[in-house]
């Protein structure tokens, strides 16, 4: 999704903006641009280009003195990706520049009204409307400052925005505003940064102010003032963020995807660290804000998320049911919010999100809360919109995930659900000895994941063979079915192979028709009560000349078990089985020459509907 970055201070702004934009690249984009105030009597200069940042860099003047500017990476929504539709957008006099992350839903009405007044539009974007609205306010009320003009303009807007605005007549000033799209300020010494993403500014300052919904901030080298839509001042002191700037570098790995797969050893240590209580064989999850009595009153658990977060939630639901015997299920957040869901008093809701900014998940949280339900968050991004909206929760502490596809946060979420399952189970019927077995299984994970990562060359060999196909099936039962979904999602996202996941039991009810030499199957076969059934599914596939690769566990008998996973407790097995699936997708994508970290058409954080 789009990213915005801005700076006002003493340093030369162009290198800072370009560095910020590079840090935003991972979110996915199709064009980029910057606007700066240059010269001693500052004049607005705008540079923008379709395609990768290099195209923009090629258009920039070699020497330019400017210490205030804004930048943007665009992911097209209104209007195709081209130079004209790229941000920043300006008013007719080219004095005001705007960058915008989000969608102006009433853009067509506003555009029609402004056009009727004779204003000519350059682009097809919704964002250009904002620049003209600000100019219109300044014409109607010449005495107002830029902040007021932005406020009055935004009062007319329906939709979501994280915007940065500047006006050459108010040099060394930026106005930032947010509603429904993330935006934060970075506070330095006589300088201020603004960005939609911590990664774009964390190298320069770790003092951060998260803007709230409806905030409008005025930034100058002297400091910042935050006001509300009603022009009331809102005091907000910076917080120190712990984010490690190294998370935003590849650190010698060929791709962020591979780096993040390898980080899972440390990530699992962090998500579990300090949360396992060996004495009482339980988990310490104070952030859930639940008393023992609250916990006992929970009759049902419902988990919401999108994409891989939904798949992790589905496995998490099984984990909780297995351990705590509380009925539990997961649902895609967008489906949930639009079906007028019944919210029951004794149901506890969880929302899962890596970014903490996924629009549909946030809207589902708000829907539950509007009806009086309690929602707890399982979120990676500290201080993100979903984390702040929830009534409690736990952070994954997985560090920044830069690759578009989620890997380390997928397994971290599964580990978080093991903790939650244990926490509820030990407040009910799970015995101390069964609890200890879970604690020990979780403690083993980092070592087991290290061993699996050592097998990566073997997965690369399988990948070479899978990469020849254009279609693939993934099958499994129970948690294995959801892992099949995750394996197929990863493969299609980064290698563009058409992949589908089925419950192994469903194969014979239809999909078998497509099994042949050209459609291989990846089968998930954990060492459980269903081994024999899984092996007979494999036999059915092979009888139709389908090639099969098994992600198998321990002593599972199969002549196809090329991707072996060690024996483990049933609740940690899905975490271990996810590793070969991630590495398989990665190596297949490499083999097919795909852009692994930034797959086509995808964005890291989906902040629009
Ligand atoms: C898949 C993937 C997406 C995200 C989904 C939700 O690899 O990354 O499916 O899982 O867009 O994102 P978050 O977790 O940020 O809410």
The atom number, within ligand 1, closest to the CA of 361 reads: 16
Same domain membership, residue 283 and residue 222: no
- Regarding whether 28 and 175 lie in a shared domain, the answer is yes
324 and 384 together in one domain: yes
Q: What is the pLDDT of residue 186?
A: 96
The answer on 328 and 243 residing in a single domain is no
Give the per-residue pLDDT at 64.
Answer: 87
Residue 431 sits in the same domain as residue 465:
no
Whether 257 is covered by a domain: the verdict is no
| 289 assigned to some structural domain | yes
Residues 287 and 419 in one domain: yes
Q: Is residue 253 in some structural domain? A: no
Show the tokens assigned to 289.
């804000």
CA dist 348 and 303 (Å) reads 9
- Predicted confidence at residue 508, as pLDDT, reads 86
Q: What are phi and psi of 97, to 5 degrees?
A: -125, 145
pLDDT at 42 over 90: no
544: CATH: 3.40.50.10490
Please answer whether residues 341 and 334 qualify as being in contact, where contact means their C-beta atoms are separated by less than 8 angstroms: no
Q: What ligand 1 atom has the least distance to the C-alpha of 311?
A: 10
CATH number, domain of 58, equals: 3.60.20.10
Residues with CB under 6 A from ligand 1: 306-309, 353-355, 358, 361, 405-406, 489, 493, 605-606
The residue out of 451, 486, 509 marking a domain boundary is: 451
Residues 378, 236 within the same domain: no
Same domain, 366 and 219: no
Mean pLDDT across the chain, nearest whole number?
Answer: 93
Q: How confident is the model at residue 245 (pLDDT cuts 50, 70, 90)?
A: low
74-115 per-position pLDDT tens digit: 988 778 889 999 999 999 999 999 999 988 999 999 999 999
For residue 384, the model assigns a pLDDT of: 86
Q: Are residues 459 and 447 in the same domain?
A: no
Query: What integer pLDDT is reported at residue 181 of this predicted model?
Result: 84
Q: Which atom of ligand 1 is nearest to the CA of 310?
A: 10
Indicate if 12 and 79 belong to the same structural domain: yes
What share of the chain has pLDDT > 70, as a percent? 99
Condensed to tens digits (0 to 9), the pLDDT of residues 304-362 reads 999 999 999 999 999 999 999 999 999 999 999 999 999 999 999 999 999 999 999 99
Alpha carbon 588 to chain centroid, angstroms: 23
Looking only at the bridges linking them, the beta strands covering 393-395 and 374-379 are: parallel
- Range of the structural domain that residue 429 is part of: 264-451
Protein residue whose Cα sits closest to atom 11 of ligand 1: 307
For the stretch 529-582, pLDDT in tens is 999 999 999 999 999 999 999 999 987 776 776 789 999 999 999 999 999 999
Domain count, the chain: 3
Asked whether residue 311 falls in the same domain as residue 205, the answer is: no
Q: Is residue 219 part of a domain?
A: yes
What was the pLDDT predicted at 28? 75
Per-residue pLDDT, 244: 66
Q: Flag whether 370 is in a domain.
A: yes
The reported pTM is: 0.81
Report the separation in Å between the CA atom of 406 and the middle of ligand 1, taken as the mean of its atom positions.
6
Q: Is residue 319 part of a domain?
A: yes
Ligand 1 centroid to 409 CA: how many Å?
A: 9
Write down which residue in 420, 435, 451 finishes a domain.
Answer: 451
What strands lie across the sheet with 89-90, from one edge to the other?
89-90, 96-104, 159-167, 174-179, 216-220, 223-227
* Contact indicator for 588, 466 with CB cutoff of 8 Å: yes
Catalytic residue, from 302, 408, 490, 604: name it.
Answer: 604
Pocket mutation for ligand 1, best pick of 181, 261, 303, 307 (most atoms within 8 Å of C-beta): 307
CA 260 to chain centre: 14
303 and 234, same structural domain? no
Q: Tell me: the pLDDT tens digits for 267-287?
A: 999 999 889 999 999 999 999
Q: Is residue 259 part of a domain?
A: no
In angstroms, what is the C-alpha Rg of the chain? 26
């Amino acid at each position: 999704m789009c990213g915005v970055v801005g700076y006002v201070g003493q340093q030369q702004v162009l290198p800072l903006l370009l560095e910020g934009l590079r840090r935003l690249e991972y979110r996915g984009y199709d064009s980029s641009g910057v606007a700066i105030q240059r010269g001693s009597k500052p004049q607005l200069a705008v540079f923008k280009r379709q395609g990768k940042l290099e195209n923009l860099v090629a258009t920039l003047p070699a020497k330019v003195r400017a210490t205030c500017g804004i930048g943007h990476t665009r992911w097209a929504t209104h209007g195709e990706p081209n130079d004209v539709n790229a941000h920043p957008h300006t008013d007719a006099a080219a004095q005001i520049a705007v960058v915008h992350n989000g969608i102006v839903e009433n853009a067509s009405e506003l555009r029609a009204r402004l056009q009727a007044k004779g204003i000519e539009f350059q682009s097809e974007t919704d964002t250009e409307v904002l620049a003209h609205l600000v100019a219109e306010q300044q014409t109607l009320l010449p005495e107002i400052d830029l902040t007021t003009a932005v406020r009055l303009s935004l009062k007319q807007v329906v939709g979501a925005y994280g915007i940065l605005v500047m006006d050459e007549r108010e040099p060394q000033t930026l106005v930032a505003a947010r509603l429904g799209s993330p935006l934060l300020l970075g506070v330095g010494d006589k300088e201020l940064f603004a960005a939609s993403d911590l990664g774009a500014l964390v190298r320069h300052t770790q003092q951060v102010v998260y803007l709230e919904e409806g905030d409008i901030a005025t930034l100058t080298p002297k400091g910042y003032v935050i006001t509300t839509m009603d022009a009331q001042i809102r005091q907000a002191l910076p917080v120190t963020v712990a984010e490690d700037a190294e998370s935003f570098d590849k650190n010698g790995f060929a791709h962020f995807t591979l780096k993040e797969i390898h980080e899972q050893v440390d990530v699992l240590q962090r998500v579990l660290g300090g949360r396992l209580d060996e004495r009482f064989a339980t988990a310490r999850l104070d952030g859930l804000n639940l008393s023992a009595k609250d916990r006992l009153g929970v009759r049902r658990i419902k988990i919401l998320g999108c994409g891989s977060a939904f798949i992790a939630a589905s496995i998490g639901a099984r984990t909780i049911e297995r351990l705590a015997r509380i009925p539990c299920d997961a649902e895609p957040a967008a489906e949930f919010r639009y079906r007028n869901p019944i919210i029951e008093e004794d149901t506890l809701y969880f929302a899962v999100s890596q970014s903490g900014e996924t629009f549909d998940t946030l809207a589902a949280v708000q829907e539950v809360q509007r009806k009086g339900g309690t929602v707890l968050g399982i979120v990676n991004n500290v201080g993100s919109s979903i984390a702040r909206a929830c009534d409690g929760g736990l952070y994954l502490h997985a560090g920044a995930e830069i690759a578009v596809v989620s890997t380390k946060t997928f397994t971290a979420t599964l580990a978080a659900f093991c903790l939650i399952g244990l926490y509820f189970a030990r407040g009910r019927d799970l015995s101390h000895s069964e609890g200890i077995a879970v604690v020990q299984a979780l403690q083993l994970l980092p070592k087991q994941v290290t061993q699996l990562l050592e097998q990566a060359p073997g997965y690369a060999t399988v990948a070479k063979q899978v990469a020849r196909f254009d279609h693939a099936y993934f099958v499994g039962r129970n948690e294995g079915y959801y892992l099949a979904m995750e394996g197929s999602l990863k493969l299609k996202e980064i290698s563009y192979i058409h992949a589908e996941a089925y419950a192994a039991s469903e194969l014979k009810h239809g999909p078998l028709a497509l099994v042949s030499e050209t459609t291989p199957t990846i089968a998930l076969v954990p060492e459980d009560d269903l081994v024999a059934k899984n092996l007979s599914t494999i036999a059915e596939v092979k009888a139709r000349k389908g090639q099969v690769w098994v992600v198998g566990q321990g002593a599972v008998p199969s002549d196809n078990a090329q991707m072996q996973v060690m024996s483990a407790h049933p609740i940690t097995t899905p975490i271990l089985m996810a590793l070969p699936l991630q590495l398989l997708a990665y190596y297949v994508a490499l083999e097919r020459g795909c852009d692994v970290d930034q797959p086509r058409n995808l964005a890291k954080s989906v902040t629009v509907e």
